[in-house]
Amino acid sequence: MPELPEVEVVRSGLAPAVTGAMIAGVTVLDERALTRHPGPAAGFEARLTGRTVQAAGRRGKFLWLALEPEGDTSAPATEAVVGHLGMSGQLLLRPAGAAPERHERIRLDIHHPVHGELAIVFADQRTFGSLAIDELIPTPDAAPGGHGWGEASVPRQVSHIARDPLDPAFSDTRLRSLLARKDSAIKRVLLDQTVVSGVGNIYADEALWAARIHPETPAKALSTRAVNRLLAEIRAVLEKALAEGGTSFDAQYVNVNGQAGYFAHSLNAYGRTGQPCPRCGRPIVRVSFMNRSSHYCPRCQRMRMPRPLRAA
């Protein structure tokens, strides 16, 4: 599943082409791509046609296109088109009238005052992704809703998603407090998008390896120093992945121009079962975890358990 870097690469690629663009036409080819939209395809098409996009925003693995209010372009946006890529979704920029993409589900024809006629294509092989029109609601902390969106609002469908570690409004103190109360394995907590967003299986393995923390270590067993080290490594691995365009193992995870990222060449733990740890040389091991896999070095990432309480 695409994680923060892959989704942010898509958002940042869309932003220049969609900001200020008018949606001239909408074509829904497969209603399965509207599973999160409250209404029929015809309503989705009608409500978007003629609207102007204010900005492209993102929180965690969700992105959205904020829409200018109908009839009052000076008012703040109250609605947005929310996108979730699911397992294999793609948002691609194509020239106007371009041939249909393989697995194309929805097409937005847009007119930009500078870039002219373009098409935004939502393609999805496995059909777990979706687009939906959703209302924007205030953020509880009064900070901007997400990357690329400066207003203190967020789509209702995204409101339960925590901020990500690269968000300027992310609270290290809040995360430390949450971890101190959780018995769950630290990797399980990192994958909980209501605690910290944007981190999936790949980048959790990479950050834990870099921080020398065993993925099954209870979250509350981590010292303040260990949590700070982990946060620093999460940020470092996400920033490096962003710089390299994300991680692509196949043709599904691409930017808006269909180009793959190169972070897969920089992985230290994920997907390297049996290969030597880049730090100590011991083979990386793979274990089952939440219907997926964890990859770690048994020498560098040793288990740490909470100290037992002394008897009174």
Which residues are known binding-site members for DNA? Answer: 103, 126, 182
**Based on the number of CB atoms within 10 Å of its own CB, is 41 exposed (0-12), middle (13-18) or buried (19 or more)?**
middle
Closest CA to 300 of 224, 201, 255, 233: 233
For residue 115, the one-letter residue type is H
As a dihedral over the C-alpha atoms of residue 203, residue 207, residue 212, residue 214, rounded to 10 degrees, the angle is -40
Tokens of 281: 């040389």
Tokens of 72: 């009052």
Tokens linked to 160:
């339960």
Positions annotated as catalytic residues are 2-3, 61, 292
Binding residues: 103, 126, 182
Gap between the Cα atoms of 202 and 71, Å rounded: 44
